Chains A and B, each alone.
Chain A
Amino acid sequence: MKTCLVVDDSKVIRKVARHILETLDFEVREAGDGREALDSCLAATPDVVLLDWNMPVMSGMDFLRALKNSGLEKRPKVVFCTTENGMAYIRAAIEAGADEYVMKPFDRETLESKLQIVGVA
């Protein structure tokens, strides 16, 4: 079973994402900000991280940079999942190393499609 770490400061979004991911046979872990997410990745690397952009403590972009410098042997796939839907944000995310990008709001088909693209579904 593949593992997905859902990183979002919104409990509602985490709940919705968890529901969809569990129907796609993922084991789901949750984090409320980038710092919690980094700790979770260092404890056990998930297959994929579903990552919000704007969060307290540590943003999605800061998490991505920290992950890059973390020395993790096998980096998880990173799929941004955010309301930042402008082209500049998307380009910045790709340049920072994101593998895919989901623009909120999203549904099951969108999420499944993006997880297939990064090769984890």
Chain B
Amino acid sequence: MIDHMAPSGGAMQLIGALLEQRTGQQIAANRAWRIETALKPVLRERGLPSLDALVGQLLGARSGELADQVVDVLLNQETSFFRDVAVLDQIAAAAVATQAAIGNRRLRIWSAGCSTGQEPLSLAMLFDEKADAFPMPPEIVATDVSAAALARARAGRYSQFEIQRGLPVRRMVQWFDTEGGDWVARQELVRRVQFRQQNLTADVPPPGKFDIILCRNVMLYFSLPLRRQVFDRLATAIQPGGLLVLGAGETVIGLTEHFTPSEAFRGFYRTADAESAPVAAAG
């Protein structure tokens, strides 16, 4: 039975510290209630009466399996198909312009912090609709820190609630099948995305340079010093003149010299070292 007494401040602090240590994400003081709400299913599953008891198990655990589970449920995995559709349309336009500038080289895109996969799958659908603009389909690499989120992304399986949020019905019918009440992306769509586990705050980026990096609604959970480090890391993974796309409330301003606002694509950033780079010339 779950004990409804308020958890000790120490338990909340330790759990918050575990999340930050593993992922860089911070839980703001006014969102601390999320810890209790999100961890209730874990307490139930493990027969633990309270967060204090959970912390006791975490401290005494011999493997990291419990810590992995705790971190996974605390991560904010909010996402949807075609989230901020105007931004997605602008990304597609930027991809077409960039492809025109780089000739026959395959365009490469990194969806960093892809959660359960809706963003990279939305991109794959958009690029399919603009197939004439690309000599070969753009390479889409999608990463997330959460193994559980990536497992869902690779399976391409979504609930009725998830599939209806943002996904136009014609695209749904074209790319998804029904299976036991869920909607499952066809393999021909899922295969267009390479899903990999990666911690933005600790791991090296996926190999090679990317023409466009999407890192939307991720930085806002990081401390300012950590944001600077992550921008430095993203800068090592982007082509000269490449484009960086952040979430609506996020900015590079005051945090990095590597990126400056793009003149051609409002709200996007491009590398600062790209006077004559092909992508900068395109946009």
A94-B170 in contact (CB<8A): yes
Give the contacts of B163-185 with A (CB-CB under 8 A): 164-166, 168-170, 172-173, 177-178
Q: CA separation between A65 and B164, bound complex, in Å?
A: 25
- Complex CA gap A113/B166 in Å reads 5
The answer to whether A106 touches B173, judged by C-beta atoms less than 8 angstroms apart, is no
- Choose the segment among A23-31, A40-48, A53-61, A83-91 that binds chain B (4+ C-beta atoms closer than 8 Å): A83-91
Q: How many A-B residue pairs have CB under 8 A?
A: 34
- Interface size counted on chain A using CB atoms at 8 A: 19
Report, as a range, how many residues of chain B touch the other chain.
10 to 19
Q: How far, in angstroms, from A87 to B172 measured CA to CA in the complex?
A: 10
Q: Is A75 an interface residue (CB 8 A)?
A: no
Contacts A86-B178, A87-B177, A87-B178; A100 near B161 (Cβ below 8 A): no
CA distance A84 to B166 in the complex (A): 20
Residue of B nearest to A80 (CB): B169
Contact A114 B164 (CB under 8 A): yes
Collect the chain A residues with CB atoms within 8 Å of residue B177's CB. 87
Does residue B90 face the partner (Cβ distance < 8 Å to A)?
no
A110 touches B161 (CB 8 A): yes
**Is B160 close to A, CB under 8 A?**
yes
A66 within 8 Å of B by Cβ? no
Contact B173 A103 (CB under 8 A): no
Question: Are A100 and B160 in contact, CB atoms less than 8 angstroms apart?
Answer: no
B168 touching A117 by the CB < 8 A rule? yes
Query: Could you tell me if A113 and B164 are in contact, using CB atoms closer than 8 angstroms?
Result: yes
User: Min CB distance, A41 to chain B, in Å?
Assistant: 21
- Bound-state CA distance A117–B165 (Å) is 10
A73 beta carbon closer than 8 Å to chain B = no
Closest to B80 in A: A113
CB distance from A31 to the nearest CB of B (A): 22
* Cβ-defined contact, A90 with B85, below 8 A: no
How many Å lie between the Cα of A101 and that of B169 in the bound state?
6
Bound together, the chains give a CA A87 to CA B160 distance in angstroms of 12
A103 & B164 in contact (Cβ 8 Å cutoff): yes
Contact (Cβ within 8 A) B173 A109: no
User: Counting chain B CB atoms within 10 Å of each CB, which of A94, A101, A107, A113 scores highest?
Assistant: A113
A116–B178 contact, CB under 8 A?
Answer: no
- A102 beta carbon closer than 8 Å to chain B: yes
> Which A residues are CB-close (under 8 A) to B178?
85-87
B165 near A113 (CB under 8 angstroms)? yes
How far apart are the CA atoms of A29 and B105 in the complex, in Å?
A: 54
Cβ distance A86 to chain B, nearest Cβ, rounded Å: 7
Nearest CB of A to B171, in Å? 10
> Which of A86, A91, A107, A116 touches B161 (beta carbons < 8 Å)?
A107
Do A94 and B169 touch across chains, with their CB atoms under 8 A apart? yes
Cβ contact within 8 Å between B173 and A90: yes
Q: Contacts of A91 on B, CB cut-off 8 Å?
A: 173
What residues of chain B lie closer than 8 Å to A87, measured between beta carbons?
A: 173, 177-178
A110 touches B173 (CB 8 A): no
Q: Which of B253-269 contact A (CB under 8 A)?
A: none
A-B CB proximity, top 5 nearest? A101-B169, A110-B164, A117-B168, A113-B166, A113-B165
Chain A interface (Cβ < 8 Å from any Cβ of B): 85-87, 90-91, 94, 98, 100-103, 106-107, 109-110, 113-114, 116-117
Known: A110-B161, A116-B85, A117-B166. 6 other contacts (CB 8 A): A86-B178, A94-B170, A94-B173, A98-B169, A100-B168, A106-B164
Listed A/B pairs (10) with beta-carbon separation below 8 Å: A85-B160, A90-B169, A90-B172, A90-B173, A94-B170, A100-B168, A102-B164, A103-B160, A106-B164, A107-B161
